[in-house]
């Protein structure tokens, strides 16, 4: 039993080492330039160890997106604990939109997450769970059937891809307008009333400094790992 526990603990440590190394590499040089071989070399593990835990680079990346999402959730809940839960959801959305806008490396990572079907599907279910939790008391989704709710989340998240790509256009247009329209589209698709969306978006504008701080917390957590 003791040997089994020791081995399990060792594997937990190896997994953490892999994810911490991969996180740093993804954020420093982007998803495309980072290879499994590089993750292995930088983390000091064997290639066999990484493939015992992760099928491929996409699986590593998917695990990292879950971790980074949890950092955002934890920071939002800590900073806005006095706000109703629907404001927490709006704050999570605001952090994502600001990160995509202000940090090109985040934009690349989000783009990869949204264009790789398996990663996107996992991310979609994460956001469905978040909406279930934070909007349950907002009286906005009761009339939606599960399939309708899923379809709305899928299509609204697809709109996020257009937001990312717009930053590479010759003519982006006013970024604040892009951000406002996308946030409104996502919140409206989930059944929130227009007057509530207006209040939530005003809140999203008010917390821009906090969003920037959360982005820095994410970056610091990677470099301190």
**Same domain, residue pair 75 and 102:** yes
User: Is residue 199 domain-shared with residue 215, that is, in the same domain?
Assistant: yes
Asked if pLDDT for residue 203 goes beyond 70, the answer is yes
56 and 36 Cβ atoms separated by less than 8 Å: yes
Residues of the domain holding 210: 57-224
Other CB atoms within a 10 A radius of the CB of residue 21 amount to 22
pTM over 0.85: yes
Ranges 1-10, 134-143, 198-207: which has the least confidence: 1-10
Q: Is the pLDDT of residue 225 over 80?
A: no
The number of domains in the chain is 2
Residues 116 and 29 reside in one and the same domain: no
The verdict on 91 and 21 lying in the same domain is no
- What pLDDT digit, counting tens, does each position of 147-198 carry? 888 899 899 888 999 999 998 887 767 888 999 999 999 998 888 888 899 9
Same domain, 111 and 190: yes
Residues 48 and 61 in one domain: no
**Are 148 and 169 in a shared domain?**
yes
What does each C-alpha distance from 7 to 4, 10, 119 come to in angstroms?
A: 5, 5, 29
Q: pLDDT tens-digit profile of 19-37?
A: 999 988 988 888 888 999 9
Residues 22 and 82 in one domain: no
Each residue's pLDDT tens digit, 99-150: 999 988 889 889 989 998 888 998 999 998 998 889 877 766 556 788 888 8
């Amino acid at each position: 039993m003791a040997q089994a526990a020791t081995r399990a603990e060792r594997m937990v440590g190896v997994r953490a080492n892999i994810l911490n190394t991969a996180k740093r590499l993804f954020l420093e040089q982007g998803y495309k330039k980072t290879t499994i071989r590089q993750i292995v070399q930088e983390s000091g593990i064997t290639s066999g160890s990484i493939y015992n835990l992760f099928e491929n680079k996409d699986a590593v990346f998917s695990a990292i997106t879950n971790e980074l999402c949890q950092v955002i959730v934890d920071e939002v809940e800590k900073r806005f604990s006095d706000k109703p839960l629907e404001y927490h959801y709006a704050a999570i959305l605001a952090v994502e939109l600001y990160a995509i806008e202000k940090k090109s490396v985040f934009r690349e990572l989000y783009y990869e997450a949204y264009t790789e079907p398996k990663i996107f599907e996992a991310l979609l279910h994460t956001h469905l769970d978040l909406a279930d939790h934070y909007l349950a008391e907002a009286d906005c989704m009761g009339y939606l059937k599960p399939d309708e709710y899923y379809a709305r989340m899928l299509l609204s998240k697809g709109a996020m891809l257009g937001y990312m790509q717009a930053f590479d256009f010759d003519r982006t247009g006013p970024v604040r307008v892009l951000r406002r329209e996308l946030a409104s589209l996502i919140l409206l698709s989930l059944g929130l009333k227009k007057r509530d969306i207006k209040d939530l978006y005003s809140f999203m504008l008010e917390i821009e400094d906090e969003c920037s701080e959360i982005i820095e917390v994410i970056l610091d957590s990677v470099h301190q790992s």
